[in-house]
A and B are shown apart, each in its own frame.
Chain A
């Protein structure tokens, strides 16, 4: 028991150390390049690779992570500079300047009973050695002219860098709108929740809201939606699928200036409701889900006035390809899903699947 506590404490300490470092300034993931990865200048630091670090590696790592093994563990070799920098299956083993991001260090400071601790057998590295590793990486991981065995890391796995700012484009509109939004009044939130709404911020800790009715949607009607008025500036996603709303609901919906997404599947919404929606000209409304309603081409036509419209779901409605064509000719950026593309049904009884199971 005492031992377990001690291990937890030690581990927490290690975490504190890391956290402390991050507090010193999160400098992004590309430190390696700036620190001159692979720089052969003589080390300015206090730790010398050949005398201080190499013996540790030889002693404790080479057995599994060198050419002594036909298949080095985790495809990582530490018997050459290029292999060390290239890393293995888990990516680079060293990020110069950042011990907290260098598995060569972090894997050695895990608690003794941790699944991933290195070295996996024998004693954990003594504290003095761990400190050397840490300082060496912190000082820029200079090899002082040492290159070790075999030049290029031929087995290394190519990794393409991703520009994270270019991913998840769908969330960007919410980020933009959220920055300008104000905080929703707490009282109104509570009231709406009591009326059966499930409310959550669209973005973590964001101000824009997603409002939906999951439990017993049949009991939700135009009045419930009208009661959302105090939240109208804050609603970005409104899901009313399977509720008992009618076309009259649009009176409130068009007053939601930040509405990006409106879900109305399987409701009594008709072309009349869509006309009201079109007249609202909401600036942000991008996506409308109408599947399983009685809307038709005439209703679809009226959506042409929505400036941001990008996607309409109209499968299982009276919308036809002619109507879709009319809308998309005028608004090329709009995509209308009005067909359900499923495989041709295969009649039962003619199926040999799962005949043999082993």
Chain B
């Protein structure tokens, strides 16, 4: 009995049959039967469910390595703190840096984790580790959290993509060894809507359909001859794109549908508009949206850079928390803010007061989705050098996200080469946050 589970890989016949069926559906371009088969695909694999407090994730990624001392792990009076001052917040005992005056009013909804620990001190490796829970290897590509969620729980809205990444791309979030159809949809400019999603004007609807039919006829023989997963996946991606083109849900991608005031409240910069887009998508059933905010690699002029880096985050995150709360969405939407590593407590004076990479200790935030706000978890020493209390490894952090979503932490999925992997690499969820 048990053996069956261990060998029940994901390229099993049911799945293959399903993809085949979906590809055939392309001929008729009908949407309804496809939707039902999509729902079935999610159920065909018996992945255990666990109690969940969150359904969606908005994942804000601070690329480059966000300095912990100058953001959410302030050490007033310490020699490592530099000129940065601390602010009191709406949560008792939670102080954050002077760069987040708007967020200070929302900290009663936020849990601050000050005891993050990674063992990857380079950007690519650190990012990969944070997104997947596994270390970057030459031999395999691991899926990131959004792909795990979609793989294990399917989609909420059959028309929209299961997960989306704004301002990032393949380097950040990937489908790893899962099907190509679990690749996040990348969006470069959040204000541009979903680009290339409209039918070219000089092609009429009939002609478009005619072309699709022709394409299908040409592909058919090939697909029958090479009944490989990658070939089928490609057909599926294609079919989804066509479905989305015709959908009313497409306007979810259009942030210009929001009032001027709301757009300005989130901030008119890329990150602010990206976070607004994330809210729109989650509202319409996209489960996992990542928004990337780059530029945190402050090797030089660390303190001057804070003036540019923090305000967009302060504004967008505050607007998001207020907006989600008013809509009654905060309790089921987990908002995460994280980064690949922190920055050195020692200030590098040779480079105009810069800070360098520091994976030993850093900070992250979680809010909503069942998280108890207004708390601080974990501690570093007086100078922010070392975690001295409640250390949270990257795996534990990801396990906490999975725990909120009710994903089974011990359930193994197998890579095509037959190696077992779990959603957060056997991390332990931080239950104190809930």
Q: Tell me how far the C-beta of A177 lies from the nearest C-beta in chain B, rounded to whole angstroms.
A: 14
Chain A residues lying within 8 Å of B272, measured Cβ to Cβ, are 353
Q: Which residue of the partner chain B has the closest CB to A175? A: B51
Q: Which residue of the partner chain A has the closest CB to B269? A: A353
Residue B401 CB within 8 A of the other chain: no
- Cβ–Cβ contact A343 & B315, under 8 A: yes
Question: Could you say which of A15, A89, A201, A337 contacts B325, with CB atoms under 8 Å apart?
Answer: A337
Rounded to whole angstroms, the CA-CA distance of A251 and B102 in the bound complex is 44
Rounded to whole angstroms, the CA-CA distance of A343 and B322 in the bound complex is 8
- Cβ–Cβ contact A353 & B51, under 8 A: no
- Cβ–Cβ contact B328 & A263, under 8 A: yes
- Cβ–Cβ contact A162 & B105, under 8 A: no
Q: Which residue of the partner chain A has the closest CB to B305? A: A356
Residue B270 CB within 8 A of the other chain: yes
Chain A residues lying within 8 Å of B48, measured Cβ to Cβ, are 204
- Cβ–Cβ contact B264 & A357, under 8 A: no
Q: A125-146, CB under 8 A of B: which get 1 and which 0?
A: 0000000000000000000000
Residue B340 CB within 8 A of the other chain: no
Contacts A157-B389, A313-B328, A341-B106 hold; do A115 and B261 have CB atoms under 8 A apart? no
- Cβ–Cβ contact A315 & B268, under 8 A: no
8 Å CB interface, A141-184 against B: 157-160, 162, 164, 167-168, 170-171
Q: B388-413, CB under 8 A of A: which get 1 and which 0?
A: 11110100000000000010000000
Rounded to whole angstroms, the CA-CA distance of A90 and B395 in the bound complex is 10
Rounded to whole angstroms, the CA-CA distance of A199 and B260 in the bound complex is 36
- Cβ–Cβ contact A8 & B327, under 8 A: no
Q: Tell me how far the C-beta of B102 lies from the nearest C-beta in chain A, rounded to whole angstroms.
A: 5
8 Å CB interface, A190-212 against B: 198, 201, 203-205
Chain B residues lying within 8 Å of A168, measured Cβ to Cβ, are 51, 53, 370, 434
Q: Which of A224-232, A275-283, A344-352 contacts B (4 or more CB under 8 A)?
A: A344-352
- Cβ–Cβ contact B390 & A157, under 8 A: yes
- Cβ–Cβ contact A342 & B156, under 8 A: no
Residue B285 CB within 8 A of the other chain: yes
Q: A17-41, CB under 8 A of B: which get 1 and which 0?
A: 0010000000000000000000000
Chain B residues lying within 8 Å of A82, measured Cβ to Cβ, are none
Question: Could you say which of A160, A345, A349, A353 contacts B312, with CB atoms under 8 Å apart?
Answer: A353
Chain B residues lying within 8 Å of A289, measured Cβ to Cβ, are 327-328
Chain B residues lying within 8 Å of A157, measured Cβ to Cβ, are 387-391
Q: A291-B326, A355-B308 are in contact. List 13 more A-B contacts (CB 8 A).
A: A15-B6, A19-B2, A91-B428, A115-B134, A158-B389, A167-B434, A204-B50, A215-B35, A287-B328, A341-B105, A342-B322, A345-B260, A345-B265
Q: B260-285, CB under 8 A of A: which get 1 and which 0?
A: 11101101111110000000000001
Q: B363-397, CB under 8 A of A: which get 1 and which 0?
A: 00000001000000000000000011111010000
Residue A4 CB within 8 A of the other chain: yes
- Cβ–Cβ contact B265 & A344, under 8 A: yes
Q: Which of B117, B135, B388, B432 has the most A CB atoms < 10 Å from its CB? A: B432
A/B interface sample: 23 pairs, CB < 8 A? A89-B117, A113-B419, A159-B389, A160-B432, A170-B370, A214-B285, A287-B328, A289-B327, A315-B327, A316-B326, A337-B328, A340-B326, A341-B106, A341-B322, A343-B102, A343-B315, A343-B319, A343-B322, A344-B265, A348-B268, A353-B271, A353-B311, A355-B308
Q: Which residue of the partner chain A has the closest CB to B140? A: A115
Rounded to whole angstroms, the CA-CA distance of A265 and B283 in the bound complex is 12
Chain B residues lying within 8 Å of A345, measured Cβ to Cβ, are 260-262, 264-265
Q: Tell me how far the C-beta of A315 lies from the nearest C-beta in chain B, rounded to whole angstroms.
A: 4
Residue A11 CB within 8 A of the other chain: yes
Q: Which residue of the partner chain A has the closest CB to B268? A: A348
The range of chain A's interface size is 35 or more
Contacts A157-B387, A348-B268 hold; do A356 and B295 have CB atoms under 8 A apart? yes
Residue A46 CB within 8 A of the other chain: no
- Cβ–Cβ contact A162 & B264, under 8 A: no
Q: Which residue of the partner chain A has the closest CB to B387? A: A157
- Cβ–Cβ contact A354 & B270, under 8 A: yes
- Cβ–Cβ contact A16 & B308, under 8 A: no
Chain B residues lying within 8 Å of A205, measured Cβ to Cβ, are 49
Q: Which residue of the partner chain A has the closest CB to B301? A: A356
Contacts A12-B6, A160-B389, A341-B106 hold; do A204 and B51 have CB atoms under 8 A apart? yes
- Cβ–Cβ contact B327 & A265, under 8 A: yes
- Cβ–Cβ contact A351 & B432, under 8 A: no
Q: Tell me how far the C-beta of A115 lies from the nearest C-beta in chain B, rounded to whole angstroms.
A: 6
Q: B337-367, CB under 8 A of A: which get 1 and which 0?
A: 0000000000000000000000000000000
Rounded to whole angstroms, the CA-CA distance of A64 and B417 in the bound complex is 31
Q: Which of B3, B157, B431 has the most A CB atoms < 10 Å from its CB? A: B431
Residue A339 CB within 8 A of the other chain: yes
Chain A residues lying within 8 Å of B20, measured Cβ to Cβ, are none
Q: Which residue of the partner chain B has the closest CB to A157? A: B391
Contacts A316-B326, A353-B312 hold; do A342 and B331 have CB atoms under 8 A apart? no
- Cβ–Cβ contact A340 & B331, under 8 A: no
Q: Which of A164, A167, A289, A337 has the most B CB atoms < 10 Å from its CB? A: A167
Chain B residues lying within 8 Å of A353, measured Cβ to Cβ, are 267, 269-272, 308, 311-312
Q: Which residue of the partner chain B has the closest CB to A339? A: B326
- Cβ–Cβ contact A342 & B323, under 8 A: yes
Residue B183 CB within 8 A of the other chain: no
- Top 8 closest A-B pairs, CB basis? A345-B264, A204-B49, A353-B269, A340-B326, A315-B326, A289-B328, A341-B322, A313-B328
